[in-house]
Amino acid sequence: MYSDVHAKKRAESLMILQVLIARALVESETSSAAVVRAIQSFCGLAGWSGGVHWVLDPADGVLHCQDVWCVPSDLRAKKLVDSLAETTLGPQEVNALARRVLVRGMPVAVADLDAEPQARFGAALTDAGMRSAFGFPVRVDGD
């Protein structure tokens, strides 16, 4: 019985997310605004404090933090996303979650950030009260 209720709630959440993302795409004036609304929708449904959108520069393999969002009242999350804005991840930073998502081409979940080798953002994530993280690729026109 538990799995039936869980599956139903998950299906309902996915349907709500699809509607929210579609609205973000239709109603936003720029692609950046649509991405921020999509991050906000995803985080809101998942109960997360914030999210980041990384974009690959194919010329040099650098990932650029392009868009961020956080719950406005969560000052620790705001400090974190503000510190990540304009950040880059070089090709050598293979342990960063965004880089692992890019390499695998599929979602990556980190249950315990304290046990992760992400030295670059580890302290900032911990200071913001983050205990876990999740990343997934977004493909546009097959890229």
Find residue 63's DSSP bridge partners. Answer: 56, 89
Looking at residue 130, its pLDDT comes to: 86
DSSP per-residue codes, 4-60 = HHHHHHHHHHHHHHHHHHHHHHHH-SSHHHHHHHHHHHHHHHHT-SEEEEEEEETTT
Up-side HSE of residue 55: CA atoms within 13 Å toward CB? 11
- What confidence tens digit (pLDDT) does each residue in 64-83 have? 999 999 999 999 999 988 88
d(CA 128, CA 81): 9
pLDDT band at 2 (very low <50, low <70, confident <90, very high): low
DSSP state of 66: E
